[in-house]
Each structure stands twice: as C-alpha cells, then as structure tokens.
Amino acid sequence: MTSAIGFDRDKYIQLQSQHINARREEIGGKLYLEMGGKLFDDHHASRVLPGFTPDNKIAMLENLKDELEILVCLNARDLQRGKVRADLGITYDVDVLRLIDAFRDSGFLVENVVMTHFEESNHKAIEFAERLENLGLKVSRHFIIEGYPSNVDKIVSDEGFGRNERAITSRDLVVVTAPGPGSGKLATCLSQVYQDNQAGVEAGYAKFETFPIWNLPLEHPVNLAYEAATVDLNDANIIDHFHLSAHGESAVNYNRDVDAFPLLKALLNRATGKEPYQSPTDMGVNMAGYCITDDKVCREASVQEIIRRYYKARVDERKAATDSETLSQRAAVVMAKAGCSIEDRRVVAPALEVENNTDGQPGAALELHDGTIVTGKTSELLGCSAAVLLNALKHLAGIDHDVHLLSPESIEPIQTLKTRHLGSQNPRLHTDEVLIALSVSASHSQDARNALAQLKNLSGCDAHTTTILGSVDEGIFRNLGVLVTSEPKYWKKRLYQR
C-alpha cells in the first residue's frame, strides 16, 4: 500500500467550474444543478481517486460562490424511519443541520430546505420542518404525486408539480444536494424548473454526478467501485445507448438514469418548452475522467474499495440477523467483474493468522503507507483493535515493540471506572480509552508524545479485524481515517450485541 496520487485535484477544480459556467450559458436563465453523491465530504471519491479530497466539490464551487446558493432536500420518509448516514453514523435530520452549518461556515448561501414525500400523517417530518423554520430557514413541502414518474400529464400540471410549495431562490445557480440517495433531488429540481417557468422565470436543469465516470470503460474498477457502493440500490453501470445513437460516442451511465431518460426528456420539454439534451450523459457536467493522472493507482485503489464494500455488505447482513445474502451476493458479482477477491486485501490473512495463533481470540492487522503490516491480538488488557492501533503508532514513531507506552497510572483508573462504576464486565481497553490513556501518559513520557504525533499518519491506511467492531472502535477508526473491514461474525454469541 502506498499513498501515491492518481488524480489532479487542481485541474479538476479548474475544469469543473469552467464546464458548469459553460452549461449555464447554454441553458440561460436559472440553472438547477443536481449534485449526486456527497457534496461536502465525498469520502468514496477520495478513496477510489487518490488525490481527490473529500471537500473537492466544495473547493470547486468556491470559484462560483458569489453566484450560487445551495438548496438542501430531505425525504420525509427518511425521518420517519430514522435513516442513518453509514459513513458518519448520524441520522439524516442531524446531517441536514450539519451540512447547512458546514456550507455556511464556508461562506455559501443556504436559505431553503425542501422536504420531499411530505405527508400530513408524518409527525416527525412536521416537527422537523417546524424546527427548521424556528431556526430561520425556509421550508418547502413537496408532496407525493400519484403516477410519478410515468404520468407526465399529471406530473406537469397544477395537480402535480403545481401542488408543491415553491422554494423562492435568489441566485441564478442553485445547487441541489441532500444527505444521501433517495432524497428526491431530481424531483425537486424538476418541480422548481416547472414552477419557475410558470412564474415567468426561465429555468433549466443539469446534473453533476461524479460516478460512474462517463468517459472511462464500462468495467473500469473506478466505475465498478460505484456499483459496489450502491448494491443496496441495485444500480448497474450500462452503456448510454441514447448517447451512442445521438453522437456516435460510447459513454457510461447508470441504469436508472438511462431508463428514466425518455420520461425526463418529456418532463423537461413540457415544463420548459425545450429539449436541451439528447442523452442522459448530455445532462451531466462531470469532468473527473479528464483529471486522472495515474490510471494504475486509481485501479488499485478502486479494487480495495470493491473488497471493502463486499465485507461491509456481509457485516450488514450479519447485523440484520436475516437469512438474506442478497447484498453480499451482488457485491461478490462486482468483485468477479473486477477480477479480484478477498485475497487481494493484504490485511485479511495476517489478521486471521493472529486469531488462529491465539486459540480463536480476535485479531487485527493494519497496513501502513510504506507497506508494513502490523498486527494486534486480544489480551487481558487490550482488545485487538486497541492493540493494533498502539502497535502501529509504535512502529511509526520508531519505538521498540517491547516498550510499554501506557503507564499503570493511566490504565488502572479507566479499568476501575468501567468495571466498578459503569457496570462493564470487560476490563479490556477500547481504542478511545487507549487514546485517553496515551494522552495521560504523554504528560510525562516522550515516547507517548511521539506516538500521539503519529496519529495523523494513519489516515488512509487499511485495516481488518476478525470480529465485528463495536460502535466505539468503529467510530475511532472512522475519525482517524482508517479504512477498516471486519469478518462477519461476533466474538461472542449473544442475542444482544452492542
């Protein structure tokens, strides 16, 4: 594993902002730009395109900051079912607030939230809408349209888009984003385009979707990694036959956009009186494919992401405690397309070897950026995740493996608190407790200070554990930027797992 760069961030920022401006000129009037994927923290893109930073899209939009505003939409049904953002571990309503704060902290105008699939019986949606309005935001409620998206006559009428509450925007470029997929971004854009045109405001639509990358081959690992990331949506990359027919050029898109294009084209025609696009690829403004500088680096990074997604699907199925293996089977198909297997993830075998050598006790392995693999075993003092974290910090800081970084004075109070006062039967330290103990030891130990200074060098490292992580360890690895996978099994067989 190396920290090689395969993507030119600066070129992307320049090309992408130029292309968006060009599309604005083509459309004329107000442009609603649907942002697919994560806008503020696109960790998937940063994993499969090394050099693409999680804030890359925001950095690109900085060039257009004074001309745009951001509209956030949220599916009301996601509030009702308490949907959680998997990469951050927070519910969608909390993420809406987080996103708005983050956008505003960066100087972007955010005034509007659109709540899609709104129903009067959804009390959580009503309460959250009131909360947003009390915070000074404008909330527009968009309703379920019977026959959407096939009944064009009803959709583009007073009984369809006309029934929605129009979000009053003040700038000519409106970026529409959301906490995650299924939030109704496309319907929001089309509803706004319809209502603006009805009000005499010329408006159009375009889409900014990073994946699949239209000018990479269909089964390029970067595009397959997108399939792996959306196995729960059952998406698939396909050739955009509309684009091939119209332009004689092969382009990759995904099945839902291609399937929906005839209806989308009809809706835009009915709403605006124009047909600006001949294919779903025409709708996009994605320039990422032109900014790949090292195809091999991006291929290797994407293969690792595909394997990580396979393990995630298996763990999710185990947590759900069902007999269904649909997601992992789909992920396995993507692995087969990419010509890879779990053997290509270098941290898996060492972690399993630790478990085999310790009579079935959980083991962990972590690969550093120089290719070194360190391991951690379960002991009376530490869980395997905590052990591998300490061992990695020791290696990075050049500290001998036999040196004890944690002083008894820092460990014993934590164990006492856990077992005597907090009701825990497990005296082993978790990763967060190890870091606290290490911080305490740093007050009098230079080795501990040197080890803490290496935490930043763990970001982007791969790790694997032979047991499903608890929420605490999972959160610590996520915050450190460690890309961790786990075997789909719990250490102990219990009906209740935390």
- C-alpha 193, offset from chain centre: 28
The stretch 80-99 carries a mean pLDDT of: 86
Helix (H, G, I), strand (E, B), or coil: what is residue 143? Answer: strand
- Condensed to tens digits (0 to 9), the pLDDT of residues 419-468 reads 676 667 666 788 998 998 899 889 889 999 999 999 999 999 999 999 99
What value does the CA radius of gyration of the chain take, rounded to a whole number of Å? 25
- C-alpha 467, offset from chain centre: 23
Lowest-confidence range among 121-125, 209-213, 252-256, 318-322? Answer: 318-322
pLDDT for 314: 95
More confident residue, 191 or 403: 191
Lowest-confidence range among 33-47, 268-282, 421-435? Answer: 421-435
Share of residues in the chain with pLDDT > 70 (%): 96
Strand segments (E) across 235-290: 237-239, 252-254
Given a cut of 80, whether residue 39 has pLDDT beyond it is no
Q: How far is CA 15 from CA 20, 34, 224, 431, in A?
A: 9, 18, 24, 42
- Please report, as a single letter, which amino acid is at residue 120: E
pLDDT for 496: 44
Given a cut of 90, whether residue 1 has pLDDT beyond it is no
The domain 9-216+238-291: what is its CATH number? 3.10.630.10
Share of residues in the chain with pLDDT > 90 (%): 73
Q: What angle do CA 8, 12, 15 make, to 5 degrees?
A: 135
pLDDT for 260: 87
Lowest-confidence range among 6-20, 265-279, 293-307, 356-370? Answer: 265-279
Report, at the CATH architecture level, how domain 346-486 is classified: 3-Layer(aba) Sandwich (3.40)
The stretch 339-362 carries a mean pLDDT of: 97
Please name the residues in contact with 147: beta carbons below 8 A apart, sequence gap of 6 or more.
Answer: 154, 155
pLDDT for 495: 41
The stretch 100-128 carries a mean pLDDT of: 95
Lowest-confidence range among 193-202, 263-272, 301-310, 401-410? Answer: 401-410
Q: At residue 363, what are phi and psi to the nearest 5 degrees?
A: -125, 165
- Please report, as a single letter, which amino acid is at residue 310: Y
Mean pLDDT of the chain: 91
Given a cut of 50, whether residue 116 has pLDDT beyond it is yes
Helical spans, DSSP H, in 321-383: 326-338, 348-357
The stretch 340-347 carries a mean pLDDT of: 97
Given a cut of 60, whether residue 4 has pLDDT beyond it is yes
User: 398: left (phi > 0), else alpha (psi -120 to 50), else beta?
Assistant: left
Q: What is the Cα–Cα distance from 464 to 304, expressed in whole angstroms?
A: 12
Given a cut of 80, whether residue 407 has pLDDT beyond it is no
Q: At residue 382, what are phi and psi to the nearest 5 degrees?
A: -125, 145
Residue 320 confidence class, pLDDT cut points 50, 70, 90: confident
Token digits of residue 440: 């305490």
Q: Any bridge partners for residue 275, and if so which? A: none
Q: What burial letters (b/e) apply to 342-361, b meaning 16+ CB within 10 Å? A: beebebbebbeebbeeeeeb
pLDDT for 274: 86
Domain boundaries, the chain: 9-216+238-291, 346-486
